[in-house]
């Protein structure tokens, strides 16, 4: 675990992610920097977007490689089809758009042209979850993990910080396969170290513990670490798993959590129907009775009201304090 993660404390009793002295970062910047670096090394890398050069942080890419950026306009279904066509000719397309429009409007094309046809397109869902804040449910994408988990043959990556974002982009470029990368906009602290390595289909153990396991993804990982620190103060040692890969799923890590700890809590900036929590529940449900430990799934269950991303995360019970409460409740029923 990084020094920043180890020292995370909330400044307002649990709602905030970190204290003011811990730096936070927009993962889109890390995405843009890494994509540009890789494009300089490999001329096969191209970008495709839906009139979202600015919001996808592709301005520098367009300036340096104007002939390698294809802007299809507001036509997401065409955008995914163009990406599949480019991939079929040996190029490495990074198809970038706001996650709600990429995954909802073009879901049929993602299914047929990418997952089923196995064209190695890298789908980049920008500003996912509740990141658009006051723009409301039309711009939120809590459903993207649920929709894409239903499709076999596509990797789903949810980086927890800027380092994992860079590693996810690099891995997709070096070993192209159908992939969805959830590129966060809501600023988060570093939770991984310089030596941490993103491994396909594996959770990252950020903290050990034998009492309880917290499995979190994306923006919720830093909050899970804060919750673990607070639980320690009450004598509970919580294991924290960073679920950067939702697919392939780290079944071994989930099984180990069920057999080795007394309860599991999952936390995600996504809909609980079909997301990380549902995936964990499906694994636990197939285990023998002694390993079917209490499970609490934190996430969204309804459309959001109007408010900032920070407000909405609190509204849906996605603060560090909410993770602590869920853990205590699960342990009390174990």
Instruction: Give the model confidence (pLDDT) of 1-58 as tens digits.
Output: 444 444 454 333 344 445 667 899 999 999 999 999 999 999 999 999 999 999 999 9
From 183, 212, 228, the end of a domain falls on 183
Mark whether 272 and 141 lie in a shared domain: no
Do 89 and 231 fall within a single domain?
no
Asked whether residue 178 falls in the same domain as residue 210, the answer is no
Residues 50 and 141 placed together within one structural domain of the fold: yes
Is-contact 189 4, C-beta < 8 A? yes
Residue of 297, 321, 308 lying closest to 227 (CA atoms): 321
What confidence score (pLDDT) does residue 8 get? 54
| CATH code assigned at 105 | 3.40.50.970
49 shares its domain with 99: yes
On whether the CB atoms of residues 204 and 192 are closer than 8 A, the answer is yes
User: Do 66 and 156 fall within a single domain?
Assistant: yes
User: How far, in Å, CA of 115 to CA of 109, rounded?
Assistant: 9
Listed as ranges, residues in the chain with pLDDT below 70 are 1-20
**Separation of CA 190 from chain center:** 14
Residue 15 placed within a domain: no
Mean pLDDT over the full length of the chain:
94
Specify whether the CB–CB gap between 222 and 17 falls below 8 A.
yes
Give residue 265's pLDDT: 98
Residue where a domain stops, chosen among 183, 212, 246: 183
In this structure, the answer to whether residues 166 and 234 fall within a common structural domain is no
C-alpha 104/C-alpha 99 separation (Å) is: 8
- Domain containing 239 equals 199-332
- Residue 121 has a pLDDT of 98
Residue 38 belongs to some domain of the structure: yes
Say how many domains are in the chain.
2
Give the predicted TM-score (pTM) of the model: 0.93
In a domain, 95, yes or no: yes
Residue 136, in any domain of the structure: yes
> Does a structural domain hold residue 56?
yes
Domain boundary among 154, 183, 212: 183
What pLDDT is attached to residue 19? Answer: 60
pLDDT of residue 138: 96
Q: Distance between CA 43 and CA 39 in Å, rounded?
A: 6
67 and 155 part of one domain: yes
Q: What does the buried/exposed string (b/e) look like for 142-181 if buried means 16 or more CB atoms within 10 Å of the residue's CB? A: bbbbbbbbebeebbbbbbbbbbbbbbbbebbbeebbbbbb
> Are residues 169 and 48 part of one domain?
yes
Q: Are 237 and 211 in contact (CB under 8 A)?
A: yes
Q: For residue 283, what is the domain's CATH number?
A: 3.40.50.920
Residues 90 and 60 in one domain: yes
22 in any annotated domain: no
- Judgement on whether residues 155 and 252 belong to the same structural domain of the protein: no
């Amino acid at each position: 675990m990084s020094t920043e993660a180890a020292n995370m404390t909330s400044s307002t009793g649990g709602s905030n992610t970190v204290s003011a002295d811990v730096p936070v970062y927009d993962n889109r910047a890390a995405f843009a920097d890494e994509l540009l670096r890789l494009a300089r090394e490999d001329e096969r890398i191209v970008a495709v977007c839906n009139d979202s050069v600015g919001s996808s942080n592709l301005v520098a890419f367009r300036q340096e490689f104007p002939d390698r950026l294809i802007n299809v306009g507001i036509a997401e279904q065409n955008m995914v089809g163009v990406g599949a066509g480019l991939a079929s000719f040996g190029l490495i397309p990074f198809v970038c758009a706001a996650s709600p429009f990429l995954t909802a409007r073009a879901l049929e094309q993602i299914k047929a042209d990418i997952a089923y046809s196995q064209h190695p397109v890298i789908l980049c869902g920008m500003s996912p979850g509740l990141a658009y804040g006051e723009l409301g449910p039309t711009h939120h994408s809590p459903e993207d993990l649920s929709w894409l988990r239903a499709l076999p043959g596509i990797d789903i990556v949810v980086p927890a910080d800027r380092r994992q974002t860079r590693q996810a982009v690099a891995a997709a470029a070096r070993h192209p396969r159908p992939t969805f990368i959830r590129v966060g906009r809501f600023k988060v602290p570093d939770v991984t170290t310089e030596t941490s390595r993103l491994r396909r289909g594996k959770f990252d153990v950020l903290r050990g513990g034998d009492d309880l396991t917290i499995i979190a993804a994306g923006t919720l990982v830093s909050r899970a670490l804060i919750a673990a620190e607070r639980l320690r103060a009450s004598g509970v040692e919580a294991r924290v798993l960073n679920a950067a890969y939702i697919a392939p799923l780290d079944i071994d890590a989930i099984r180990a959590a069920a057999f080795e700890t007394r309860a599991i809590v999952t936390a995600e900036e996504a809909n609980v129907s079909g997301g990380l929590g549902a995936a964990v529940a499906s694994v636990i449900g197939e285990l023998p009775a002694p390993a079917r430990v209490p499970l609490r799934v934190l996430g969204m269950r309804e459309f959001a009201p109007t408010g900032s991303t920070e407000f909405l995360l609190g509204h849906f019970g996605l603060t560090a304090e909410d993770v602590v409460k869920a853990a205590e409740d699960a342990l009390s029923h174990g």
